[in-house]
Amino acid sequence: MTMVVRALGYGSAAMDKGYPWTYINTAIRLGLDKGLEDVRYTDELTRGQIAALLYNALTAEYLIPVTTGPITFTRTSTIIEEVYGYTISECVLSATNDYAIAGSSPVVKNGYVAFTDEEGNVLTVSFAQTGLAGTPNQWLGHGVKLVYKKYDSTITVLGAFDGGKSETVTTATMGKDNAYVTIDGVNYKIVETLSDALNTNANELLVYAFGEDETLTQIKNNDEFAALLGTSAITLHFDDRNSETADRAIVTTYKFGKLSIEDGKINLADGKTEAELTGGFNNAAGAVHGNYVLFYYNPEVKALTIAEVLTPTELAFVTELTSSYAIIGGTKYTFGCESAGVQASAVASKFEAGAVVSVVAKDGMILEVIGATAPTIESTYLVAVTGTVPVYVDGHVYYALTANIDGSNVSILNTRSDIVADTVYRYVKNGAGIYTLIEYSSENFTQSGEKKELLDNSESDSNVVLKVNNNGSYRMGNTRFLTDTKTVIVVRNAGTFSVKTGKFTSEITVNAGAKAYAVFKDEVGNVETLKFLYVTDGSLGEVDASTTYVRVLGKVGAVYENNTVYTVYSVFNLKTGKVETRKSVETELEVGKDYAVGANDLILGIEGEATSTGKVRGYTAETVTIGNKVYTMTSDSVVVQLNADGTVTNVTVASLHNQEVEFVATGNTINLIFVTETDAE
């Protein structure tokens, strides 16, 4: 208040003699500095601050002694009331031309509003005279001090002064058994009539809700309030801007729908055009035809408000499904929202575990399911090589890990943080390259028409060897199975992944301490078809008829890929008759020896006898005699010379007559005939 004293003319000389502190303290108690607390005493007051000072002076309450007979008592009044004859009432704006809170009716005269004071008296006045900014509907349910003078049936308003505030929130939570409701961090009890302040410790709140007509419905208790939650906006009105506890609340509950505008007719407004919405069309959200939106439509007032545009999610996998929720792309959702007009059962019925879907959701509640694929899709599998680390990409938190897909270690982003290394996951990848993973242990890992089985050899000291039986099938636990052209087998050994795709008829070894994870097509009958098999530690047999062998010609160098150092060799491919380079984890393969090629195209340290030898004793256009046996030559048969410099030259069978050759044959059909050039030649 010292700056007020300065403003009233005190100079520095007078100040040296001391401020009139008695008057300053009295002025503070009267509230003359209300709203000016942040102004420093050295500041010059603005005209607005002077106006505030004068208003505070005119409306400050003071005590007037009144004597009746021998009894003297006091009453409160203000200068503006006592001297100028105005009345100051604590009022709530209770009705506009469009709406009215319960107990009131909309005002007929255009431009006028109704205020209800603490005694229930209704004052209908010109909104323009109140000096309040904005529109009347924005002030509905808000408390103000109304300063007016009444002349017979005419009311002249000096002004309406807002000492409060309004805040809008979109969420609230209910306490146990709806004993209380928490809004913006404050616990309230919803009541129909306020109790005397001394008779309750609860924060009582009067609540009114917009409906389908002009009159807002009063919400009488916490249970009724709970039914509104989900997609509602709650506007809290505080009569005192410094208070943390609201006095009233206005609730607008938004429905969910898909906006359609055809020939100017708006489906969400019963087909009315914008011109026919005389109560207003508020589309601040910028919704357009085809958008999914939250909206409020009042058919009686003919008013439409579009509050929010909801964007469908990207397609993602339904990894978990229960009667009350679904996990889609790593996010948990509940079904429907009663207050938004969406039944939970209607949403839940559109889901199946294993489906790939896009949803429209609000605060974790699914309001619509769109873009759902058939739930049975071709499964794709990977092995997690590492755990995850969080990364921030384009405003989203994802989790990065190294995964082995088709034998190669790659870095991927997924939606889950709980990935476990050396575990099999089924995955789906969205258009942005983000993976959704389902662990092998989940009941949703398999789809309709599939089954899985785990061979757990982790407690054993002996290897388990899966062998082909006489009928061509394997047995794993209780399951007999075959492989086909789409079978994928992944075996890990000392950090190296071997992958075999297609039909396989060799041994599969599961080492002691390892596990084997299998997924089968659940066929009719007792024999299943293997779709995917992962062995955490083991090997693939190399005596399969389809196994490729190579002859090592020399060591070329080394490469570092997928966290592994490989030795690179120059080899002669005994299947194609070509010279090529191949990698191996073996560092000392012997030149001139034949080695098997693993399922992932790496040279294994397993020697084999892939060729036969003999002298070419005769030939025709379609046959060749080697030793004492006649073989068939086809257009796919290869005849070459392996040169000393590590190259190959195509030769004819005739040029090899009476020479010793090596050859590879399948049955009676020649695949490859070759002769090796020596340095002496």
Per residue, the 3-state secondary structure of 399-430, as one string, reads EEEEEEECCEEEEEEECCCCCCCCCEEEEEEC
pLDDT at 584: 83
- Under the banding of pLDDT at 50, 70 and 90, the label for residue 496 is confident
Report yes or no on 681 lying in a domain: no
Q: How far apart are CA 60 and CA 25, in angstroms?
A: 14
Report yes or no on 72 lying in a domain: no
Q: Of the residues 310, 330, 349, which one is the last residue of a structural domain?
A: 310
More confident residue, 184 or 524: 184
Report yes or no on 69 lying in a domain: no
Shared-domain flag, residues 418 and 454: no
Helix (H, G, I), strand (E, B) or coil at 656: helix
Q: Of the residues 370, 392, 415, which one is the last residue of a structural domain?
A: 370
pLDDT tens-place string over residues 4-52:
555 554 555 555 456 566 566 666 666 677 777 777 766 777 887 877 7
pLDDT above 70: percentage of residues in the chain: 85
Shared-domain flag, residues 332 and 350: yes
Q: How far apart are CA 29 and CA 255, in angstroms?
A: 50
Closest CA to 561 of 421, 402, 437: 402
Shared-domain flag, residues 207 and 176: yes
Q: How far apart are CA 601 and CA 407, in angstroms?
A: 10
More confident residue, 524 or 185: 185
Closest CA to 316 of 303, 337, 332, 300: 332
Closest CA to 595 of 564, 615, 567: 567
Shared-domain flag, residues 422 and 469: no
Token pair belonging to 306: 């579009």
Token pair belonging to 290: 């085809």
Q: How far apart are CA 420 and CA 404, in angstroms?
A: 13
Report yes or no on 444 lying in a domain: no
439-443, 501-505, 567-571: which has the minimum mean pLDDT?
501-505
Q: State the Cα angle at 243 between 79 and 22, rounded to 5°.
A: 45
Shared-domain flag, residues 305 and 329: no
Shared-domain flag, residues 248 and 261: no
pLDDT at 471: 61
Give the mean pLDDT of the chain.
85
Shared-domain flag, residues 169 and 238: yes
pLDDT above 90: percentage of residues in the chain: 47
- Under the banding of pLDDT at 50, 70 and 90, the label for residue 396 is confident
Alpha helices in 12-102 (DSSP H): 12-16, 21-30, 47-59, 79-82
Shared-domain flag, residues 177 and 239: yes
Amino acid at 289: H
Token pair belonging to 460: 């054993």
Closest CA to 248 of 191, 205, 218: 205
**E runs forming strands in 118-195:** 122-126, 143-151, 154-161, 165-169, 173-174, 181-183, 186-190
Report yes or no on 74 lying in a domain: no
pLDDT at 16: 47
Count of the separate structural domains present in the chain: 9
* pLDDT surpasses 80 at 193: yes
- Under the banding of pLDDT at 50, 70 and 90, the label for residue 579 is very high
Helix (H, G, I), strand (E, B) or coil at 347: helix
264: left (phi over 0), alpha (psi -120 to 50) or beta: left
pLDDT tens-place string over residues 216-255:
999 999 999 999 999 999 999 999 988 999 999 999 999 9
Structural domain span for residue 145? 86-161
* pLDDT surpasses 60 at 515: yes
Beta carbons of 418 and 425 less than 8 angstroms apart: no
Q: Of the residues 131, 161, 191, which one is the last residue of a structural domain?
A: 161
pLDDT at 374: 46
Beta carbons of 278 and 251 less than 8 angstroms apart: no
pLDDT at 376: 40
Token pair belonging to 481: 């199975």
Shared-domain flag, residues 124 and 185: no
Half-sphere exposure of 44 (CA within 13 A, CB side): 2
Report yes or no on 463 lying in a domain: yes
More confident residue, 308 or 600: 308
Shared-domain flag, residues 150 and 182: no
Report yes or no on 267 lying in a domain: yes
65-79, 127-141, 200-214, 323-337: which has the minimum mean pLDDT?
65-79
Shared-domain flag, residues 106 and 184: no
Shared-domain flag, residues 135 and 170: no
- Under the banding of pLDDT at 50, 70 and 90, the label for residue 353 is low
343-347, 470-474, 497-501: which has the minimum mean pLDDT?
470-474
Closest CA to 460 of 346, 538, 392, 524: 538
More confident residue, 79 or 38: 38
How many C-beta atoms surround the C-beta of residue 4 within 10 A? 21
Report yes or no on 445 lying in a domain: no
